[in-house]
Structure 1
């Protein structure tokens, strides 16, 4: 479970990104977070894996107080949480398989890291992850020869290879065309259902959010203004979420 209790987040420039956030997300939920740019969507997601620290309140993930973690505790905690970005963060001149195996580098012995030699188990796990996202046939293809959608699926496979409990995705389909975006969203949904994995997606495509997510969280000016079933989102709800900032 992910639990926010009275969470506040303010940036050094004084901008208040999150205000009085109270939220619970159960294991296995598929949640879409929607709102205007600057509303606090990315901040909310990035607090979960300690990319950002909260200023007030409590944030726990499966009983762990996230902001109480230090040093190695943070690194170990992050192994349980996959993160997908809009930019794919891949080594484009390397093969798809090697990019996925990179996820195992922190667990390798020093000499394997030095020489770039991966054990057989890491290769098997990477191939299984590629199969899960439907691009096993691209395992030995260089990343720079793939389409944007295929590269995002490689990034997702790399995350799956770590066997996370939660996947966070920050605008994962923002740079993709509509057809490719649906293919990638299909992957997220299948992983969510087949592996009972919690998936939280910050997404600006409202139509995709309503089609794929079970639950929608709407954020406006750092506050949650809607939290409920995707099927219950009405135009009135959307108007509330997407109101212009100056309206208060």
Structure 2
């Protein structure tokens, strides 16, 4: 369970990113966080794994007060939480397999880190993770020979290999075409349902959020203005989240996407 209790986040320059956030996210939920750029979506999910520190309130993950963790405690805590980025964060000049094996490095003895020698068990886990996202046949191909969608699947496999309870995804399909986006979203949905892994995703594509997520959290100017099941989202609610006529905003999104 993830619990935000009156969470605030103010940056050093005085910018208020989050204010009075009160949310409870249960294990196994698929949650899409939507809103305009700069609304606080990325900040919200990055507070969960302490990429950003909160400046007020309390944030608990399975009754652990995240703000109180220090040093090795933070590193151990982050092992339970996978993070997927828009930019994939892969080493493109090496193989898919080696990119997935990186997920085991924090747990290796020093000599294995220096030599880059992984155990048979680690290699089997890496191959199993690649199989779960449908790219086992790409294991020994260099990452720079893959499409964008395949690279995002490598990033997802790397996260799965660490056996997380939670996956945070920060605009994971922003740089992908519509067909590839749905393939990647299918992977997220499958993993969520079959493995009971919580997925909390910051996403600009509203229609895809409504298609795949079970729950929508709408953020506007750092505040939650909607929190409820996907089937309760109306155009009026979207207008409230996005601060205007949603049809006009959606047209702008589609026009911008066409230029990507």
Give the TM-score band, short-chain normalised: over 0.9
Does residue 122 of structure 1 match 2:122?
A: yes
Displacement of 1:115 in angstroms is 0.9
Provide the residue aligned with 2:47 in structure 1: 47
Instruction: Indicate the residue corresponding to 1:3 in structure 2.
Output: 3
TM-score, normalised to structure 1's length? 0.98
Instruction: Please tell me whether residue 196 in structure 1 is matched to residue 196 in structure 2.
Output: yes
Number of aligned residue pairs: 244
Aligned match of 2:26: 26
Give the match's secondary structure for 2:216. strand
Q: Deviations over 1:137-180 (max 9, x none)?
A: 10010000000000000000000000000000000000000000
Q: How do 1:74-223 residues align onto structure 2 when only pairs under 5 Å count?
A: 74-223=74-223
The answer to whether 1:238 aligns with 2:238 is: yes
2: distance between equivalents of 1:35 and 1:194? 28
Task: Please report how far the alpha carbon of residue 108 of structure 1 lies from its aligned counterpart in structure 2 after TM superposition.
Answer: 1.2
Q: What SS does the aligned partner of 1:17 have? A: strand
Secondary structure of the 2:3 match is: strand
Pairwise CA RMSD: 0.6
Question: Moved runs in structure 1, 4+ residues, more than 6 A?
Answer: none
SS in structure 2 at match of 1:70: coil
Q: Deviation at 1:228?
A: 0.4
> In the TM superposition, what whole-angstrom CA distance separates every residue of 1:21-43 from its partner, at most 9, and x where no partner exists?
00000000000000000000000
When normalised by structure 2's length, the TM-score is 0.93
In structure 1, how many angstroms separate the alpha carbons of the residues matched to 2:106 and 2:5?
A: 32
Question: Which residue of the partner structure matches residue 256 of structure 2?
Answer: none
* Superposed displacement of residue 111, structure 1: 1.3
Deviation at 1:234, TM superposition (A): 0.3
* Structure 1: unaligned runs, 5 residues or longer: none
